[in-house]
Amino acid sequence: MFVEIDQKQIKQVNRTSIVQQTAFWSEVKSKQGIVSLAFDFKIRSADLYPNAPDSGYIEHDLLVLIQQLDREHSIAYVPYGPEIEPEEENQGAFLEELSESLRYFLPRNCILIRYDLSWESPWTKEEDRFDQMGNWNGPPPKKIQEFRLNFSTQKWNLKKANTDILPSNTIFLDLNQDPETLLHTMKPKTRYNIHLSRRKGVTVKSIGLEDLDIWYELYRQTASRNNIRLNKIEYFRSVLTARANDSSSPAEVELLMAEAQGEPLAAMFLVIAGERGTYLYGASASANRNYMASYALQWEAINIARKKGCAEYDFFGVAPKPDPAHPLYGLYKFKSGFGGELYHRMGCWDYPLNNKKYNYFIAAETTTPGYHLPTSN
Protein backbone atom coordinates (compact mmCIF):
# COMPACT_ATOMS: atom_id res chain seq x y z
CA MET A 1 0.00 0.00 0.00
CA PHE A 2 1.33 3.42 -0.95
CA VAL A 3 -0.21 6.85 -0.24
CA GLU A 4 0.99 9.76 -2.36
CA ILE A 5 0.67 13.08 -0.49
CA ASP A 6 0.96 16.73 -1.54
CA GLN A 7 0.43 19.78 0.64
CA LYS A 8 -1.99 22.42 -0.65
CA GLN A 9 -3.56 25.73 0.32
CA ILE A 10 -6.32 25.68 2.91
CA LYS A 11 -8.79 27.41 0.62
CA GLN A 12 -8.48 24.48 -1.79
CA VAL A 13 -9.87 21.98 0.76
CA ASN A 14 -12.64 19.98 -0.92
CA ARG A 15 -16.31 20.66 -0.36
CA THR A 16 -17.65 18.30 2.29
CA SER A 17 -20.56 17.82 4.67
CA ILE A 18 -18.13 17.30 7.57
CA VAL A 19 -17.82 20.78 9.07
CA GLN A 20 -14.55 19.94 10.82
CA GLN A 21 -12.88 19.08 7.50
CA THR A 22 -13.66 22.40 5.76
CA ALA A 23 -11.70 25.56 5.05
CA PHE A 24 -14.31 27.26 7.22
CA TRP A 25 -13.25 25.17 10.23
CA SER A 26 -9.63 26.02 9.55
CA GLU A 27 -10.60 29.69 9.73
CA VAL A 28 -12.39 29.11 13.03
CA LYS A 29 -9.32 27.43 14.47
CA SER A 30 -7.04 30.14 13.10
CA LYS A 31 -9.01 32.69 15.09
CA GLN A 32 -8.40 30.49 18.14
CA GLY A 33 -4.65 30.46 17.49
CA ILE A 34 -4.42 26.98 15.97
CA VAL A 35 -2.51 26.38 12.73
CA SER A 36 -4.00 24.17 10.00
CA LEU A 37 -2.40 22.19 7.20
CA ALA A 38 -4.16 20.73 4.17
CA PHE A 39 -3.11 17.76 2.04
CA ASP A 40 -4.22 15.97 -1.08
CA PHE A 41 -3.63 12.24 -1.10
CA LYS A 42 -3.87 9.56 -3.76
CA ILE A 43 -4.10 5.80 -3.30
CA ARG A 44 -4.97 2.74 -5.38
CA SER A 45 -8.66 1.86 -5.08
CA ALA A 46 -7.78 -1.81 -4.63
CA ASP A 47 -5.77 -0.95 -1.50
CA LEU A 48 -8.94 0.34 0.14
CA TYR A 49 -11.66 -1.78 -1.42
CA PRO A 50 -10.88 -5.45 -2.26
CA ASN A 51 -13.25 -5.63 -5.23
CA ALA A 52 -12.10 -2.40 -6.88
CA PRO A 53 -10.25 -2.51 -10.24
CA ASP A 54 -6.47 -2.73 -9.84
CA SER A 55 -5.93 0.18 -12.22
CA GLY A 56 -8.16 2.67 -10.40
CA TYR A 57 -7.07 5.41 -8.00
CA ILE A 58 -8.89 7.43 -5.34
CA GLU A 59 -7.97 11.05 -4.67
CA HIS A 60 -9.12 12.86 -1.57
CA ASP A 61 -7.89 15.40 0.94
CA LEU A 62 -7.35 15.98 4.64
CA LEU A 63 -7.38 18.92 7.07
CA VAL A 64 -4.89 18.63 9.94
CA LEU A 65 -4.79 20.93 13.00
CA ILE A 66 -1.43 21.51 14.69
CA GLN A 67 -1.99 21.95 18.39
CA GLN A 68 0.97 23.26 20.40
CA LEU A 69 1.61 21.59 23.73
CA ASP A 70 4.51 23.90 24.62
CA ARG A 71 7.11 25.92 22.72
CA GLU A 72 8.74 22.80 21.35
CA HIS A 73 6.15 20.05 21.10
CA SER A 74 2.88 19.66 19.24
CA ILE A 75 0.33 17.09 18.16
CA ALA A 76 -1.39 16.75 14.79
CA TYR A 77 -5.15 16.41 15.16
CA VAL A 78 -7.42 15.29 12.31
CA PRO A 79 -11.03 16.17 13.23
CA TYR A 80 -13.48 13.67 11.74
CA GLY A 81 -10.94 12.72 9.12
CA PRO A 82 -9.96 11.22 6.85
CA GLU A 83 -13.43 11.32 5.36
CA ILE A 84 -12.82 8.45 2.95
CA GLU A 85 -13.66 5.16 4.70
CA PRO A 86 -11.92 1.96 3.53
CA GLU A 87 -13.26 -1.54 3.96
CA GLU A 88 -12.61 -2.65 7.54
CA GLU A 89 -9.83 -5.08 6.61
CA ASN A 90 -7.79 -2.23 5.10
CA GLN A 91 -8.45 0.54 7.61
CA GLY A 92 -5.43 -0.02 9.83
CA ALA A 93 -2.97 -0.37 6.95
CA PHE A 94 -4.36 2.78 5.35
CA LEU A 95 -4.00 4.83 8.55
CA GLU A 96 -0.48 3.50 9.06
CA GLU A 97 0.65 4.39 5.54
CA LEU A 98 -1.11 7.77 5.67
CA SER A 99 0.60 8.55 8.99
CA GLU A 100 4.05 7.62 7.76
CA SER A 101 3.52 9.75 4.66
CA LEU A 102 2.31 12.71 6.73
CA ARG A 103 5.22 12.46 9.15
CA TYR A 104 7.57 14.42 6.88
CA PHE A 105 5.17 17.36 6.51
CA LEU A 106 4.59 17.85 10.24
CA PRO A 107 6.61 19.94 12.75
CA ARG A 108 9.86 18.33 13.86
CA ASN A 109 8.73 17.63 17.42
CA CYS A 110 5.21 16.51 16.60
CA ILE A 111 4.53 13.72 19.09
CA LEU A 112 1.58 12.01 17.45
CA ILE A 113 -1.17 12.12 14.87
CA ARG A 114 -4.63 11.82 16.40
CA TYR A 115 -7.40 10.75 14.03
CA ASP A 116 -10.87 11.54 15.32
CA LEU A 117 -12.48 8.98 13.03
CA SER A 118 -16.02 9.54 11.79
CA TRP A 119 -15.99 5.99 10.38
CA GLU A 120 -18.69 3.69 11.71
CA SER A 121 -17.48 1.45 14.51
CA PRO A 122 -17.04 -2.13 13.25
CA TRP A 123 -18.44 -3.33 16.57
CA THR A 124 -21.90 -2.12 15.54
CA LYS A 125 -21.97 -5.10 13.16
CA GLU A 126 -21.38 -7.64 15.95
CA GLU A 127 -24.60 -9.12 17.36
CA ASP A 128 -23.00 -9.93 20.70
CA ARG A 129 -22.35 -6.20 21.28
CA PHE A 130 -26.11 -5.57 21.67
CA ASP A 131 -28.34 -6.30 24.65
CA GLN A 132 -31.71 -8.03 24.57
CA MET A 133 -33.46 -4.70 23.95
CA GLY A 134 -31.36 -4.06 20.86
CA ASN A 135 -29.22 -1.38 22.53
CA TRP A 136 -25.55 -1.21 21.64
CA ASN A 137 -23.21 -2.00 24.53
CA GLY A 138 -20.31 -0.16 22.95
CA PRO A 139 -16.96 -1.49 21.78
CA PRO A 140 -14.90 -4.00 23.78
CA PRO A 141 -11.83 -3.02 25.86
CA LYS A 142 -9.06 -1.01 24.19
CA LYS A 143 -6.69 -3.96 23.73
CA ILE A 144 -9.24 -5.86 21.69
CA GLN A 145 -10.05 -2.79 19.58
CA GLU A 146 -6.34 -2.21 18.95
CA PHE A 147 -5.74 -5.82 17.96
CA ARG A 148 -8.51 -5.62 15.38
CA LEU A 149 -7.45 -2.33 13.79
CA ASN A 150 -3.72 -3.17 13.78
CA PHE A 151 -4.16 -6.64 12.34
CA SER A 152 -3.38 -5.49 8.78
CA THR A 153 -0.53 -3.15 9.80
CA GLN A 154 3.21 -3.72 9.86
CA LYS A 155 4.13 -1.72 12.96
CA TRP A 156 1.09 -2.30 15.20
CA ASN A 157 1.37 1.34 16.18
CA LEU A 158 -2.28 2.50 16.26
CA LYS A 159 -3.49 3.22 19.79
CA LYS A 160 -7.04 3.87 20.96
CA ALA A 161 -7.06 7.23 22.75
CA ASN A 162 -8.36 7.30 26.31
CA THR A 163 -11.08 9.80 25.42
CA ASP A 164 -12.79 11.06 22.30
CA ILE A 165 -12.63 14.76 21.48
CA LEU A 166 -15.58 15.17 19.13
CA PRO A 167 -18.75 13.17 19.82
CA SER A 168 -18.41 9.52 18.80
CA ASN A 169 -22.16 8.87 19.04
CA THR A 170 -24.72 10.94 17.20
CA ILE A 171 -28.10 10.82 15.52
CA PHE A 172 -28.54 11.54 11.81
CA LEU A 173 -31.96 12.68 10.61
CA ASP A 174 -32.92 12.17 6.96
CA LEU A 175 -34.22 15.49 5.64
CA ASN A 176 -35.48 14.09 2.33
CA GLN A 177 -38.99 14.16 3.78
CA ASP A 178 -41.67 16.83 4.01
CA PRO A 179 -42.32 18.54 7.38
CA GLU A 180 -45.50 16.58 8.04
CA THR A 181 -43.68 13.29 7.59
CA LEU A 182 -40.86 14.46 9.85
CA LEU A 183 -43.37 15.39 12.54
CA HIS A 184 -45.18 12.08 12.14
CA THR A 185 -42.00 10.04 12.66
CA MET A 186 -41.11 11.85 15.90
CA LYS A 187 -41.88 10.43 19.31
CA PRO A 188 -45.33 11.64 20.45
CA LYS A 189 -43.92 13.60 23.41
CA THR A 190 -41.50 15.49 21.18
CA ARG A 191 -44.24 16.35 18.70
CA TYR A 192 -46.47 17.47 21.59
CA ASN A 193 -43.74 19.67 23.06
CA ILE A 194 -43.16 21.39 19.71
CA HIS A 195 -46.86 22.26 19.54
CA LEU A 196 -46.89 23.22 23.24
CA SER A 197 -44.05 25.69 22.77
CA ARG A 198 -46.01 27.34 19.96
CA ARG A 199 -49.13 27.63 22.14
CA LYS A 200 -47.03 29.25 24.86
CA GLY A 201 -45.92 31.92 22.41
CA VAL A 202 -42.36 30.72 21.77
CA THR A 203 -40.87 32.13 18.57
CA VAL A 204 -37.49 31.51 16.97
CA LYS A 205 -35.32 34.07 15.20
CA SER A 206 -31.81 34.46 13.90
CA ILE A 207 -29.54 36.76 15.89
CA GLY A 208 -26.11 38.15 15.11
CA LEU A 209 -22.80 39.09 16.64
CA GLU A 210 -24.35 42.05 18.45
CA ASP A 211 -26.43 39.57 20.49
CA LEU A 212 -23.66 37.12 21.29
CA ASP A 213 -23.87 38.12 24.96
CA ILE A 214 -27.45 36.76 25.01
CA TRP A 215 -26.16 33.39 23.78
CA TYR A 216 -23.33 33.47 26.28
CA GLU A 217 -25.61 34.04 29.26
CA LEU A 218 -27.78 31.08 28.23
CA TYR A 219 -24.64 29.02 27.72
CA ARG A 220 -23.31 30.08 31.15
CA GLN A 221 -26.54 28.90 32.78
CA THR A 222 -26.37 25.59 30.90
CA ALA A 223 -22.73 25.03 31.83
CA SER A 224 -23.48 25.72 35.49
CA ARG A 225 -26.54 23.45 35.46
CA ASN A 226 -24.72 20.54 33.83
CA ASN A 227 -21.25 21.04 35.33
CA ILE A 228 -19.69 21.73 31.92
CA ARG A 229 -16.35 23.51 31.62
CA LEU A 230 -17.03 27.10 30.54
CA ASN A 231 -15.43 28.37 27.33
CA LYS A 232 -14.74 32.07 26.88
CA ILE A 233 -17.07 34.13 24.74
CA GLU A 234 -14.25 34.59 22.21
CA TYR A 235 -14.53 30.89 21.40
CA PHE A 236 -18.06 31.38 20.08
CA ARG A 237 -17.22 34.70 18.46
CA SER A 238 -14.65 32.87 16.34
CA VAL A 239 -17.33 30.43 15.08
CA LEU A 240 -19.80 33.19 14.31
CA THR A 241 -17.35 35.49 12.52
CA ALA A 242 -15.26 32.97 10.57
CA ARG A 243 -15.63 33.19 6.80
CA ALA A 244 -14.25 31.00 4.02
CA ASN A 245 -16.33 32.27 1.12
CA ASP A 246 -13.29 32.43 -1.16
CA SER A 247 -12.61 28.73 -0.61
CA SER A 248 -13.89 25.45 -2.01
CA SER A 249 -15.45 24.48 1.33
CA PRO A 250 -17.25 27.37 3.02
CA ALA A 251 -19.96 26.91 5.64
CA GLU A 252 -22.95 28.92 6.74
CA VAL A 253 -23.49 29.67 10.43
CA GLU A 254 -26.74 30.76 12.02
CA LEU A 255 -27.15 31.65 15.68
CA LEU A 256 -30.80 30.93 16.47
CA MET A 257 -32.66 32.06 19.58
CA ALA A 258 -36.03 30.99 20.96
CA GLU A 259 -37.87 33.53 23.10
CA ALA A 260 -41.27 34.24 24.64
CA GLN A 261 -42.55 37.70 25.60
CA GLY A 262 -39.10 39.07 24.77
CA GLU A 263 -37.34 36.70 27.19
CA PRO A 264 -34.50 34.58 25.73
CA LEU A 265 -35.16 30.92 26.55
CA ALA A 266 -32.80 28.88 24.35
CA ALA A 267 -30.22 29.33 21.60
CA MET A 268 -28.09 27.23 19.28
CA PHE A 269 -25.46 27.33 16.55
CA LEU A 270 -26.60 25.75 13.29
CA VAL A 271 -23.79 25.13 10.80
CA ILE A 272 -24.52 24.14 7.22
CA ALA A 273 -21.75 22.57 5.16
CA GLY A 274 -22.22 20.57 2.01
CA GLU A 275 -25.53 18.75 2.32
CA ARG A 276 -25.58 18.51 6.11
CA GLY A 277 -26.91 20.76 8.84
CA THR A 278 -25.12 20.32 12.17
CA TYR A 279 -26.40 21.28 15.61
CA LEU A 280 -23.02 22.41 16.87
CA TYR A 281 -23.68 24.10 20.23
CA GLY A 282 -26.85 24.59 22.24
CA ALA A 283 -27.91 26.27 25.48
CA SER A 284 -31.07 27.07 27.43
CA ALA A 285 -32.22 29.17 30.36
CA SER A 286 -32.66 27.61 33.76
CA ALA A 287 -36.02 29.37 34.20
CA ASN A 288 -39.27 28.79 32.25
CA ARG A 289 -38.23 25.35 31.07
CA ASN A 290 -41.91 24.41 30.87
CA TYR A 291 -42.08 26.56 27.71
CA MET A 292 -40.26 23.77 25.85
CA ALA A 293 -38.26 26.36 23.92
CA SER A 294 -35.49 23.91 23.00
CA TYR A 295 -38.02 21.83 21.06
CA ALA A 296 -39.21 24.84 19.06
CA LEU A 297 -35.59 25.82 18.45
CA GLN A 298 -34.57 22.40 17.19
CA TRP A 299 -37.60 22.08 14.94
CA GLU A 300 -36.86 25.47 13.36
CA ALA A 301 -33.21 24.51 12.80
CA ILE A 302 -34.27 21.26 11.10
CA ASN A 303 -36.59 23.17 8.79
CA ILE A 304 -33.95 25.78 7.97
CA ALA A 305 -31.46 23.04 7.07
CA ARG A 306 -34.07 21.31 4.92
CA LYS A 307 -34.99 24.54 3.08
CA LYS A 308 -31.32 25.21 2.37
CA GLY A 309 -31.04 21.89 0.54
CA CYS A 310 -29.51 19.71 3.26
CA ALA A 311 -30.06 15.98 2.92
CA GLU A 312 -29.34 15.21 6.57
CA TYR A 313 -29.19 16.76 10.02
CA ASP A 314 -26.51 15.87 12.56
CA PHE A 315 -27.62 16.17 16.19
CA PHE A 316 -23.93 16.02 17.19
CA GLY A 317 -23.52 14.13 20.39
CA VAL A 318 -25.66 11.70 22.43
CA ALA A 319 -25.20 8.77 24.78
CA PRO A 320 -24.63 5.51 22.86
CA LYS A 321 -27.81 4.02 24.34
CA PRO A 322 -30.62 4.97 26.76
CA ASP A 323 -28.52 4.58 29.88
CA PRO A 324 -29.54 6.92 32.75
CA ALA A 325 -26.03 6.64 34.20
CA HIS A 326 -24.42 8.12 31.08
CA PRO A 327 -23.59 11.87 31.30
CA LEU A 328 -25.21 12.45 27.89
CA TYR A 329 -28.39 10.52 28.68
CA GLY A 330 -30.44 13.74 28.82
CA LEU A 331 -29.26 14.67 25.35
CA TYR A 332 -30.11 11.17 24.12
CA LYS A 333 -33.68 11.50 25.39
CA PHE A 334 -34.09 14.96 23.89
CA LYS A 335 -32.50 14.39 20.50
CA SER A 336 -33.77 10.86 19.86
CA GLY A 337 -37.30 12.17 20.20
CA PHE A 338 -36.95 13.90 16.82
CA GLY A 339 -36.39 10.59 15.04
CA GLY A 340 -33.37 9.68 12.98
CA GLU A 341 -30.80 6.91 13.18
CA LEU A 342 -28.25 6.39 15.93
CA TYR A 343 -24.71 6.28 14.53
CA HIS A 344 -21.57 5.13 16.37
CA ARG A 345 -18.22 6.48 15.20
CA MET A 346 -14.84 4.89 15.90
CA GLY A 347 -13.63 7.92 17.86
CA CYS A 348 -10.03 8.98 18.49
CA TRP A 349 -7.07 6.85 17.43
CA ASP A 350 -3.43 7.83 17.90
CA TYR A 351 -0.44 7.12 15.74
CA PRO A 352 2.63 7.93 17.91
CA LEU A 353 5.55 9.51 16.06
CA ASN A 354 7.77 9.45 19.16
CA ASN A 355 6.81 6.61 21.49
CA LYS A 356 8.70 7.83 24.56
CA LYS A 357 7.21 11.33 24.41
CA TYR A 358 3.83 9.87 23.50
CA ASN A 359 3.76 7.91 26.76
CA TYR A 360 4.52 11.13 28.69
CA PHE A 361 1.76 12.92 26.79
CA ILE A 362 -0.83 10.22 27.53
CA ALA A 363 0.06 10.26 31.23
CA ALA A 364 -0.34 14.04 31.36
CA GLU A 365 -3.53 14.01 29.31
CA THR A 366 -5.37 11.89 31.87
CA THR A 367 -4.88 14.63 34.49
CA THR A 368 -5.92 17.64 32.37
CA PRO A 369 -9.37 18.59 31.02
CA GLY A 370 -10.11 17.79 27.40
CA TYR A 371 -10.34 20.49 24.79
CA HIS A 372 -13.71 19.56 23.39
CA LEU A 373 -17.07 21.16 24.06
CA PRO A 374 -20.08 18.91 24.68
CA THR A 375 -23.31 19.97 23.04
CA SER A 376 -25.98 20.82 25.59
CA ASN A 377 -29.60 21.93 25.41
Tens of pLDDT, residues 243-269: 999 999 999 999 999 999 999 999 999
Residue 170, judged by CB atoms within 10 A of its CB (0-12, 13-18, 19+), counts as: buried
| CA gap 3, 102 in Å, rounded | 9
Q: Are residues 49 and 61 in the same domain?
A: yes
Query: In the prediction, which pLDDT does 52 show?
Result: 80
- List, in order, residues 6 or more apart from 237 with CB less than 8 Å away: 31, 209, 212
- Whether 372 is covered by a domain: the verdict is no
- Whether 66 is covered by a domain: the verdict is yes
Query: In the prediction, which pLDDT does 1 show?
Result: 86
Q: Are residues 115 and 222 in the same domain?
A: no
Q: Are residues 267 and 184 in the same domain?
A: yes
In 3-state terms, what secondary structure has residue 55?
coil
- Whether 269 is covered by a domain: the verdict is yes
- Whether 377 is covered by a domain: the verdict is no
pLDDT at 337 over 80: yes
DSSP annotation of 245: T
Stretch 338-342: mean pLDDT, rounded? 97
pLDDT band at 375 (very low <50, low <70, confident <90, very high): very low
Stretch 210-218: mean pLDDT, rounded? 97
- Whether 376 is covered by a domain: the verdict is no
User: How many domains does the chain contain in total?
Assistant: 2
- Whether 375 is covered by a domain: the verdict is no
What pLDDT, in 10s, does the model give residues 56-108?
999 999 999 999 999 999 999 999 999 999 999 999 999 999 999 999 999 99
pLDDT band at 271 (very low <50, low <70, confident <90, very high): very high
Average pLDDT, the chain: 94
pLDDT at 180 over 80: yes
Q: Are residues 127 and 222 in the same domain?
A: no
pLDDT band at 212 (very low <50, low <70, confident <90, very high): very high
We report the CATH number of the domain holding residue 314 as 3.40.630.30
Residue 291, judged by CB atoms within 10 A of its CB (0-12, 13-18, 19+), counts as: buried
Q: Are residues 353 and 297 in the same domain?
A: no
Stretch 169-177: mean pLDDT, rounded? 97
**14-18, 44-48, 67-71, 362-366: which has the minimum mean pLDDT?**
362-366
Cα angle for residues 121, 122, 124 (degrees, 5° grid): 75
Q: Are residues 149 and 279 in the same domain?
A: no
Query: In the prediction, which pLDDT does 54 show?
Result: 77
Q: Are residues 117 and 69 in the same domain?
A: yes
What pLDDT, in 10s, does the model give residues 276-302?
999 999 999 999 999 999 999 999 999
Query: In the prediction, which pLDDT does 290 show?
Result: 96
Q: Are residues 241 and 151 in the same domain?
A: no
Q: Are residues 63 and 188 in the same domain?
A: no
Q: Are residues 235 and 148 in the same domain?
A: no
Query: In the prediction, which pLDDT does 368 show?
Result: 65
Q: Are residues 148 and 224 in the same domain?
A: no
| CA gap 231, 238 in Å, rounded | 12
pLDDT band at 364 (very low <50, low <70, confident <90, very high): confident
| CA gap 216, 372 in Å, rounded | 17
- Whether 370 is covered by a domain: the verdict is no
Q: Are residues 76 and 109 in the same domain?
A: yes
- Whether 16 is covered by a domain: the verdict is yes
Per the structure, the complete domain to which residue 225 belongs is given by 170-342
Return the higher-pLDDT residue of 53 and 211. Answer: 211
pLDDT at 377 over 70: no
